[in-house]
Amino acid sequence: MGVILGMIAIAFGIWGIGDIFRGFGQTTVAKVGGTEIRVETFRQFYQDKVQDLGRRIGRPILPDQARALGLDRQILGQLVADALLDERVRALRLGVTEAEVARRITDDPNFKGLTGQFDRQRFDLTIRQRGYTEQRYIAEQRRTALRAQIIGTVSAEIPAPKAAAEAFNRYQNEQRSFEYVVLTAAQAGDVPAPAADVLTKYFEGRKVLFRAPEYRQVSLLAVTPADIAASVEISEADVRRVYDERKATYETPERRQIQQISFPTLDEARAAADKLTKGTTFVALAAERGLKDTDIDLGLVAQTAIVDRAVGAAAFALKPGQVSAPIEGRFGVMLVTVVKVELGQTRTFEQVASEIKNELAASRAKLEMDTQHDKIEDERLGGATLADIAKKFNLKLVEIPAIDRAGNAADGKPIAGLPQSPTLLDVMFKADKQGDDRPAPITGGGFVWFVVSDIKPGRDRDLAEIKDQVEVRWREDEIASRLKVKSADLLDKLKAGKTLTELAAADKLKVETAASVKRGAPPAVIPARAIQVVFQTPKGAPGTVDGANAVDRIVFRVTDVTVPPFDPNSDETKRIDEVLRRALAEDIYLQYVGKLETEIGVTINQNALNQATGNSPAPQQ
């Protein structure tokens, strides 16, 4: 959610909108040049955006949450920016054709069906779910197209500085080689069991680490597009329509293995054809002309894959083994023969009907997900229990007797089948017992509702209760401490001039090497944090860092640093240039909008803003 809100909020850091709030008429939230943003207009826009953000993060945003996040000022900033651009559009007398607006809508991938074409039904359903009428959506697209003309003029074709591209290229593609040894528990020596007083002192100093976690008894009701798809009825007529529209995608064309020989003149081709009629093979004829099998073989190809249409037509009219008459093609005179024929196939309607039906059901289920969400919410707000809702909509209610914040059961093992949700555990452990809480989003689509029926608070454990666990933890810490001391000793010796090979031999360690490593592609056995340290270490210098687990230590020496070449014409440089150009374009665009604010003038009415969002009125100045 923070990313989405941050995208909206960025304008405030550039435009300084916090400094332009002043009071005036009660029916106008803002005045931008000659444009007034009315309370009703802002309220509708605000509600649409808050609801849209709620859908994108997978849960509704309550009014108090919206105000706490500053969404009122952030969304007003977006409206102000749009109004500034609209003012400049009018001043420049820009226009856009109806055809361009239609193109923008029909090209939008959100409105395309399974065939990849514009789907009117999908368009109607999608904009309705977003709170738009058709006229309002088309008008908004027209304004967006006009703003795009200005944005494109201001921020397009901005060259990225060469120095920035070179620095970016080096960071991304610099390679380093290093040698290293891994210190494991074996190098820590014998670690005897701790004395009772030592273990007690260790436990008392870290008692919080061994607390029994809070457990909650919960009921879960999950709904995913797959659940909805199972109950979606798809008619045979709909399946047949999609099959007919996509029939070409179910056809595998006939393919032929074709050999061809090119001749500079028609007479030479005729002479060669005469040799073939007298027993010379096609391959032998090619050999006479200094051609190998690979020189004459076009491979197994469809007719549409042959660039020369005349050659393709002739080749696909031959029988296997038959040689064509001389063909006067685009690239010379040809003789062709067919070595093998692979017949084309068409998957019948019966063969793909089930596949199409599943695709249609899945597509419609995604569109119906919000509708199902609203139906369940209506039932819940009407007093129905999750058990009642599960029965009514034929859904499965899952009862979990105990779950901790990590998603584990009372035995410490992960709970199988727990819905994959980025927020479920967090909101579940913030909820009150028998509370009325919003559903959490499910990764990949859908929602999960829950009710906390019991809470078992976390508690401190006695040492006797978990002595084995504490001893294991003490042992790991003791090994890690010893290895840190040992790695520091090896590091000092390396700095004094010893080689890693000498030191490894003395401790019976194996020296490993990693060659040509990039920042973003560490070897599987080296953690990413270790690679960061390697890239901060000069060539020839040693270093030490934590290993892949809690106790291991890595001691290394950088043996080589390869600075990547900078080729302005390489694909990598072009990709980097595109990234930098986009960043620069965005920065210049924001500066331009800030300039428009100064030139056109912006005034904000805090009282009207509070009225539009249901906040308490601001005190009069």
What does the alpha-carbon distance between residue 324 and residue 317 come to, in Å, rounded to a whole number? 9
**pLDDT exceeds cutoff 90 at 427:** no
pLDDT at residue number 115:
63
What does the alpha-carbon distance between residue 205 and residue 18 come to, in Å, rounded to a whole number? 48
Q: pLDDT tens digits, residue range 533-564?
A: 999 999 999 999 998 887 899 999 999 999 98
pLDDT at residue number 18:
36
pTM: predicted TM-score of the whole model, two decimal places: 0.50
- Three-point CA angle 596, 601, 605, nearest 5°: 130
Q: Among residues of the chain, what percentage have pLDDT more than 70?
A: 91
Q: pLDDT tens digits, residue range 199-221?
A: 999 999 999 989 999 999 999 99
Average pLDDT over residues 479-488: 94
Q: pLDDT tens digits, residue range 17-46?
A: 333 334 445 688 899 988 888 888 888 788
Residue 390's pLDDT band (boundaries 50, 70, 90)? very high
What does the alpha-carbon distance between residue 268 and residue 253 come to, in Å, rounded to a whole number? 34
**pLDDT exceeds cutoff 50 at 617:** no
Q: pLDDT tens digits, residue range 69-97?
A: 788 888 888 889 999 999 999 999 998 88
Domains defined for the chain, CATH in brackets: 2-157+579-613 (1.10.4030.10), 175-210+466-562 (no CATH), 215-225+364-456 (3.10.50), 254-343 (3.10.50.40)
φ, ψ at 276 (rounded to 5°): -65, -35
What does the alpha-carbon distance between residue 164 and residue 158 come to, in Å, rounded to a whole number? 13
Average of per-residue pLDDT values in the chain? 85
- What does each C-alpha distance from 564 to 174, 517, 522, 537, 571 come to in angstroms? 5, 12, 17, 17, 14
CB-neighbour burial class of residue 12 (10 A; exposed 0-12, middle 13-18, buried 19+) = middle
Best CA proximity match to 535, nearest among 512, 572, 513, 561: 561
End-to-end CA distance of the chain: 35
pLDDT at residue number 614:
66
CB 453 within 8 A of CB 461: no
pLDDT at residue number 62:
67
Residue 114's pLDDT band (boundaries 50, 70, 90)? low
Q: pLDDT tens digits, residue range 370-381?
A: 888 888 989 988
Q: pLDDT tens digits, residue range 275-318?
A: 998 889 999 998 988 888 888 888 888 887 776 788 889 999 99
**pLDDT exceeds cutoff 70 at 343:** yes
What does the alpha-carbon distance between residue 183 and residue 110 come to, in Å, rounded to a whole number? 54
More confident residue, 338 or 576: 338
Residue with tokens 């004459």: 296
What does the alpha-carbon distance between residue 223 and residue 377 come to, in Å, rounded to a whole number? 12
